[in-house]
Structure 1
Amino acid sequence: MRPVAFVRITCLLLYSLAAFSAAAQEIYAGRYKAIFNEAPRMVPTSKVPDAPLAGNGDIGLTLGGSPDNLCFYLGKNDFWRAWPVYPGGGIAFPGALQVSSEALKGASWYAEQVMDKAVVKGRFTKGNTSVSLTAWVAATHNTVVVEFISNKACRLQLKLWAPEGNTAVNGAGVTNQVQWVTRSFNDTALQEWPCHVAIAMKTLGAVVDQNNYIELLPGKKITITLTLYTSFDQPQWKEQAIREAGALTAVSVANMRIQHEAWWRQFWLRSSVRIGDPYLEQYYYASQYLLACSSRGDKFAPGIWGPFITKDSTAWGGDYHLNYNYQAPYWAAYSSNQIDLTNNFDQPLLDYMPKGVAHARSLLNVRGIYYPVGIGPRGLVTTRWPLTPEEMEKRYGTRENTIDDGFKFLGQKINAVFSVGNMLMRFYSTYDSSYALRVYPYLVACADFWEDYLKYEEGRYVIYMDHFNEIMPRLGSTGNWRDRLGDFNSTLSLGLVKMLFKGVVDMSTYLGKDQGRQSTWTHILTHLSQFPVGDADGRRSLQSVEKRPWGYEKPAGLNRVSIHGLLVPAGVAGPITDSSFNKILLDDVSHWKDKMKSGAEWGNTLNNGIETCFPGAVRVGYDPGEILQYLKERIARQSLSNWWITQGGGGIETLAAVPLTINEMLLQSYEGVVRIFPNWDHSKDAQFDQLRAYGAFLVSSRLRKGSVEYVHLLSEKGRVCVLANPWPGKSIQLVRNGKKAEVLRGAAVRFTTGVGEMIVVVSI
């Protein structure tokens, strides 16, 4: 190699390592905070609150009320009324702290949601009186901290309360200057397990009088702590909450805050992106913040609304909806290198397996597992038809409440397999053998089901009676709802089943298990029906199903539901997998504009699908500039002051939309090839640090002035890497652990890696 070239590589290497080190020190998310200039209007709510939010992945804090009557709503992911139907059943509301002050009646409202530190700040001003608050949910403890300080003397009245009703049993008292309330759902008819919660409050820096007033003196901080425990945290849940609250001091709270800030700092250092677009960056980091507030690996998985619960009977019971709502919030966490946030995902699915086996045998006479559309934790089913014919008629227009033995499958057989997508995303992203061993029985149970359920006809496997959309009786609908049953070869089902059998073969090979079954699985994989396409206005277009009872279906093009089966989460289609088929999908996306002429938004995502359609468009290679413009327009149409993007059908699943879209533009690997800036406008500078690629690689790169400057690749498991050459037509130099190594050439290069090896790739 020429000396000049070697010097250039060395300088680039030193520059890129310095850039990587600098990026690792800066919390880029600290540039963004949500600001509120008026009190929330959507609190309490059965869906997404528009309030300042904080959380630790188990406990959620929602700040509502008015300046003179602030309300700190407390939610907890493991507090459930374990009934099999909603309304009434599902995640429940533990309680709240109300803080009232006559001095602030009519005061102005100002609040901030500070994401890098995970705190909510507020300032309420009336005349020359200004009261400030700081509130946070301790990242490493079961405690919420609320701090007040004022420039003038004023009185605050505290009211700790838990809601009554919905068969709850309540308690309240004072123990050693700790106020506490409890709320319990005991063993009642149809309740699958009891659940209890305690909230214990201690005030530091002031004395609480017999009427629950405290004096806020000028410049003197008062700290109110709220410690929450459920019966799933601790058998002595009430005693533990009271004991921990009583032991808190100013020093211990200060230490708790140090741990809290350290946890969040480490969270933000796991990855970062910089795309030169502050509007999208703020939603990128806000979405990651809200997910981290909602999900923590060693706690119960969050339901549709996360822990931001402000009333009982939230929409859909706040359950785990298995035909995409439950899975979608996690989709960006894998590539964002936030694997620990996904540790709780699998447990509810594993817990339901015995019931899934029973459903498969009793309803379909097959092996494996068969899941309804909605479940909860600890084997709870949340989606039963109403328990009486009268209630069924009131809600669904028919008295038949024994459909499928009373469980809501809604004509879909694919619900259990939907979650395999997340399991495979994590497996391919980490190659963690202990994780693979944990979920492998679930994949095998799904494979058992589909081995029995698939029909082999005329040289191909086909799928009967698994429906592209939910099929159910509806109030006010005409005709017999069963007339809509009969989908044949749904694109959703074909794609997810293909994903399943590819994944179970890969995991079987990796673990060295069930080698004798691989021939059957591979035969299914290679002989599964092709995805149906047809002619639409002179072009080839995707069909939702191959046919329906009334005949062959007119092609509807790629949409939210078919994206689930093909692209996200399935990952069985794309420009590398099948370039010809990908062109059909790309052409379908280009026709999404047609519906905008009648007022619809691009991708039709106001009700559901923002987290699906935008990443799906990226994966098929649609124009990145248009994607980002449409994404910004969609956010502007329906999002809240706390930067939570909303839609009609669900809640925390939208938190994947912006991070997954951006991550897929900057780095792709789902087709077995690591691709750098695969769908990014190269005229715009961008940088990403430590995004996670399939193969257990952490990848960093920077695009500047139209050229990729470097690629860093940290190999966690020492697997072979296939990299699309970021510098087409040029040779590339590998630098392994700081030492110059191979020179490689080609459109895609293949090289070995060692466990823990850092490889820098530069052009020469």
Structure 2
Amino acid sequence: MKLSVWLLAMFCYWHAATGQHLSPFVLTAPPARTPTGKVPDAALAGNGDIGLTFGGTPDRLQLYFGKNDFWRAYPVYPGGGIALPGGLNVSVDALKGATYKVVQNPATADIQATFTKPGLQVGVKAWVAAMHNTVVLEFTATQTCVLQLHLWAPEGNTAIVRKGTSGNVSWVTRSFENTPLLEWPSHVALAMHAPGSNITLQPDRPVTVTVTLYTNHDTPRWKETAIQEAAGLTAARIETMRQAHRKWWNGFWERSFVEIGDTMLEKYYYASQYLFAASSRPGKFAPGIWGPFITRDSSAWGGDYHLNYNYQAPYWAAFSSNYIDLTDNYDQPLLDYMEKGKWHARTLLHMRGIYYPVGIGPKGLCTTRWPLTPEEMLRRYGTTENTIDSGYKFLGQKINAVFGAANMLMRFYSTYDEQYARRIYPYLLACADFWEDYLQFEQGRYVIAMDHYGEVMPNLRNKGQWRHMLGDYNSTLSLGLVKMLFKGMLQVSDYLQTDRARRQQWEHIYTHLSAFPVQEVEGRVRLKSVEKSPAEWHNRAMGLARVSIHGLVLPGEVCGPVTDPAFNAILLSDVAHWKDRMQQPGEWGNTLGNGIETCFPGAVRVGYDPNEILRYLKDRIRASSLPNGWITQAGGGTETLAAVPLTINEMLLQSYEGRVRVFPNWDRRRNAAFGNLRAYGAFIVSSRLTGGTVTAVNILSEKGRPLEIENPWKDGAVKVERNGKPAGTVSGKVLSLKTQAGEKLVLTKGRGHKRKEWILMRE
């Protein structure tokens, strides 16, 4: 099949697949946990900066507007962290007792509500403009009724709230400024364009209401800009915004697809992609734990950037899903904190490099200081000692900055973008500086002391007694992530042709880090979380779990069936025993608390049975998910949006071990297809499995890097096309092909005699 014909076939196939599985979520009852300090259960829409949470009842709608860049830049939570800009209340007395139907549409990124009672039906269509700072609300009614609108911003928490009108625009502002310990001011304006605050809604006469939001982080003229843009929103202007909105979302859904023949999992796959795209956008502040779906101040953990996995995990599926631009905002908070990180390393540990606390925010903000008074410390943590680590929450962990580097390396391997590599290299180098100083070389190996597998801190349960728990030695989290770092340093420095003189030391560290600890228990070798620890449970070989996966498999990526088959067999055995600890459906991998985005794709990577993984994943979704499609867990929010997409992507395509593998952990008896998933090496890959056979593999080489790919037809002959022209045949279990930048390859099952590989490599 010619390349152009094959691509057309895949494109048409995509439309069939996504058209069927971009399923809406229908909410038939008012949300019960909105507002909340965690994930709201209401219908959601967003543009990666502004989030709309559609709360309330038919007669008393409560719409909440969140914004990723509106923070109270105070270093302690509660009180500090991302804050609520405000909302809009819509009262329709005539709808008291009406039925509730609200539809969240991922395909069109809008919310459509229908409220019905005898003689009256009111419709609301709501969307957050993909390319503008405006929320659009369109109201219709079958009979005359009155809408009452109240635009508001919350008082309290040191906020300064003002309101007023300017022509046909009503506005409110909320500001945090000029208070002790506030690191920088935040201001937000909400400007509503409406026919009035009391609107008579008549049959066949739709009414449009818009709310435009700007902060001082968008523009110095935040208030004036919001009011002026709102005032200029004519019907023609709104229609232009609508067309831009449709174009953006249509383009988003065309970037990649999967088809696995499971309607439920495909529905949650695309719902998760929708919610992530609604939460993250290039050029905007990065989303915190709850994204822009904020419904009150002082959300859990301040809604901050928690660096011991919560901040990193939401992005993990975006790399392989080919949504690289949605990861653009990730690096800036880490880069902005570097000067403080250097101060922490120098002052607290007398080290070079950077040392980060557990939680940060934008613009160099630390969100995780201990309470500022001994009395508050005693009330919350059971001790008056609020000067631990000079008042910052490191919680016994040295690894947070390196944990932050994981996503940088994932993006680099996915794109081989030189400009990006130069942007993040100073951060990686600062991490290397720290660990060169911190590591101890003992008896021919590097060891890691006093970097803890879990958070170690005073709390009310231990009555403020915590120091006896310090002393982890060779945590698997630390060993894995440090190994990941120096592997990355070798590759990025070589790519950039810099720091050649330091590579020998980095290679020595990489090859001489302590082995990952294991122990034989009851005849089975199991992973230990740490080599030794004062905490007794650490000294038992409990097997592979979420935190170890972070270091070893995801995002650490230093273990796997290609890298070390023998060690991978130990990890696979551990995963096989997760079911032994289950008490009820949904508990596999112990992911109800945390870790669905880690344990499920981690199990895929080590090679656990794919049908079992999919069955357990569906059980987990049923056990804890919301009517809006958000899969929930106790310890966080946005990170779960990576769970289903990453699990499925990893089943269909893997490349993290330097080798592209199509359908590496998939039941070959089940038909499946994927289009335009991204592989390490800057390759865009599409393929289809039908009747137990891979029909073809389509590969775009963006940067012309060498391609190593596992033969999709075992060790049989493989025909190669390059840019639509035959280019010979190769065979073997692993194929090594040279590529050129922009080159398109098609691999199909070959026939006849083996051809020498040099035929393919002449160009």
**TM-score over 0.5 (shorter chain):** yes
Q: Which residue of 1 aligns with 2:570?
A: 584
Q: Which residue of 1 aligns with 2:154?
A: 163
How far has the Cα of 1:187 moved from its partner?
A: 1.8
CA distance in 2, matches of 1:579, 1:30: 39
Helix, strand or coil for the counterpart of 1:243? helix
Matched, 1:718 2:709: no
How far has the Cα of 1:16 moved from its partner?
A: 3.1
* CA pair 478-43 structure 1, distance change in 2 beyond 3 A: closer
Q: Which residue of 2 aligns with 1:6?
A: none
Q: Is the 8 A contact 1:67 1:108 kept in 2?
A: yes
How far has the Cα of 1:742 moved from its partner?
A: 2.2
Structure 2 residue identity aligned to 1:594? D
Moved more, 600-609 or 285-294: 600-609
Could you list the runs of 5+ residues in structure 2 that have no partner in the other structure? 751-763
Matched, 1:423 2:408: yes
Q: Which residue of 2 aligns with 1:440?
A: 425
Q: Which residue of 2 aligns with 1:489?
A: 474
Offset from partner CA, 1:622-665 (integer Å, 9 cap, x none) = 00000000000011000000010000000000000000000000
1:266 to 229, 233, 251: 251
Matched, 1:750 2:736: yes
Q: Which residue of 1 aligns with 2:718?
A: 732
1:301 to 277, 286, 307: 286
* CA pair 755-550 structure 1, distance change in 2 beyond 3 A: closer
Offset from partner CA, 1:475-514 (integer Å, 9 cap, x none) = 0325831000000000000000000000011000000111
1:128-139 pair list within 5 angstroms: 128-139=119-130
Matched, 1:154 2:145: yes
Q: Is the 8 A contact 1:23 1:689 kept in 2?
A: no
Matched, 1:510 2:495: yes
Q: Which residue of 2 aligns with 1:28?
A: 18
Matched, 1:628 2:614: yes
How far has the Cα of 1:26 moved from its partner?
A: 5.5
Offset from partner CA, 1:172-216 (integer Å, 9 cap, x none) = 00002110000000121000000000000002xxx32xxx20010
1:25-104 pair list within 5 angstroms: 28=18, 31=21, 32-104=23-95
Q: Which residue of 1 aligns with 2:7?
A: 17
Question: Aligned pairs, how many?
Answer: 748
Q: Which residue of 2 aligns with 1:7?
A: none
How far has the Cα of 1:411 moved from its partner?
A: 0.2
Q: Which residue of 2 aligns with 1:175?
A: 166
Helix, strand or coil for the counterpart of 1:223? strand
Q: Is the 8 A contact 1:34 1:113 kept in 2?
A: yes
Structure 2 residue identity aligned to 1:125? T
* CA pair 611-600 structure 1, distance change in 2 beyond 3 A: closer
Give RMSD over aligned pairs. 1.2
Q: Which residue of 2 aligns with 1:539?
A: 524
Q: Is the 8 A contact 1:100 1:157 kept in 2?
A: yes
1:232-247 pair list within 5 angstroms: 232-247=217-232
If the length of structure 2 is used for normalisation, what is the TM-score?
A: 0.97
Offset from partner CA, 1:365-384 (integer Å, 9 cap, x none) = 00000000000000000001
Matched, 1:144 2:130: no
1:218 to 199, 203, 213: 203
CA distance in 1, matches of 2:648, 2:33: 29
CA distance in 2, matches of 1:68, 1:617: 47
* CA pair 440-29 structure 1, distance change in 2 beyond 3 A: farther
How far has the Cα of 1:614 moved from its partner?
A: 0.2
Helix, strand or coil for the counterpart of 2:588? coil
CA distance in 2, matches of 1:17, 1:69: 50
1:705 to 679, 691, 706: 691
Q: Is the 8 A contact 2:585 2:620 kept in 1?
A: no
How far has the Cα of 1:17 moved from its partner?
A: 3.1
1:593-608 pair list within 5 angstroms: 593-597=579-583, 601-608=587-594
Helix, strand or coil for the counterpart of 2:364? coil
Q: Is the 8 A contact 1:16 1:710 kept in 2?
A: no
1:368 to 335, 339, 353: 353
How far has the Cα of 1:23 moved from its partner?
A: 3.6
CA distance in 2, matches of 1:541, 1:509: 36
* CA pair 236-14 structure 1, distance change in 2 beyond 3 A: closer
2:330 to 300, 323, 345: 345
Helix, strand or coil for the counterpart of 2:187? strand
1:247-262 pair list within 5 angstroms: 247-262=232-247
Structure 1 residue identity aligned to 2:380? R
Helix, strand or coil for the counterpart of 1:294? coil
Q: Which residue of 2 aligns with 1:643?
A: 629
Matched, 1:563 2:549: yes
Helix, strand or coil for the counterpart of 1:20? helix
How far has the Cα of 1:554 moved from its partner?
A: 1.5
How far has the Cα of 1:30 moved from its partner?
A: 6.0
Q: Which residue of 1 aligns with 2:761?
A: none
If the length of structure 1 is used for normalisation, what is the TM-score?
A: 0.97
CA distance in 2, matches of 1:428, 1:523: 22
Q: Is the 8 A contact 1:29 1:285 kept in 2?
A: no
CA distance in 1, matches of 2:603, 2:522: 21
Could you list the runs of 5+ residues in structure 1 that have no partner in the other structure? 1-9
CA distance in 2, matches of 1:368, 1:649: 30
Q: Is the 8 A contact 2:458 2:464 kept in 1?
A: no
2:178 to 187, 191, 196: 187
Q: Is the 8 A contact 1:40 1:50 kept in 2?
A: yes
CA distance in 2, matches of 1:62, 1:486: 44
Matched, 1:684 2:667: no
1:305-316 pair list within 5 angstroms: 305-316=290-301
2:385 to 400, 404, 427: 400
CA distance in 2, matches of 1:425, 1:26: 31
How far has the Cα of 1:27 moved from its partner?
A: 7.3
CA distance in 2, matches of 1:160, 1:168: 16
Q: Which residue of 1 aligns with 2:597?
A: 611
Moved more, 596-605 or 641-650: 596-605
1:379 to 351, 360, 364: 364
Q: Is the 8 A contact 1:29 1:115 kept in 2?
A: no
Q: Which residue of 2 aligns with 1:3?
A: none
Offset from partner CA, 1:202-231 (integer Å, 9 cap, x none) = 02xxx32xxx20010101110001000000
Matched, 1:388 2:373: yes
Matched, 1:411 2:401: no
CA distance in 2, matches of 1:188, 1:417: 33
CA distance in 2, matches of 1:654, 1:299: 21
Helix, strand or coil for the counterpart of 1:436? helix
CA distance in 2, matches of 1:584, 1:27: 37
CA distance in 2, matches of 1:513, 1:642: 48
Q: Which residue of 2 aligns with 1:659?
A: 645
2:303 to 298, 307, 318: 318
1:357 to 326, 342, 365: 342
Q: Which residue of 2 aligns with 1:554?
A: 540
CA distance in 2, matches of 1:478, 1:252: 60
Structure 2 residue identity aligned to 1:605? T
Offset from partner CA, 1:301-331 (integer Å, 9 cap, x none) = 0010000000001000000000000000000
Helix, strand or coil for the counterpart of 2:352? coil
CA distance in 2, matches of 1:474, 1:30: 49
CA distance in 2, matches of 1:528, 1:320: 29
CA distance in 2, matches of 1:184, 1:700: 49
CA distance in 2, matches of 1:280, 1:30: 13
Offset from partner CA, 1:505-526 (integer Å, 9 cap, x none) = 1000000111111011111001
Q: Which residue of 1 aligns with 2:758?
A: none
Structure 2 residue identity aligned to 1:571? E
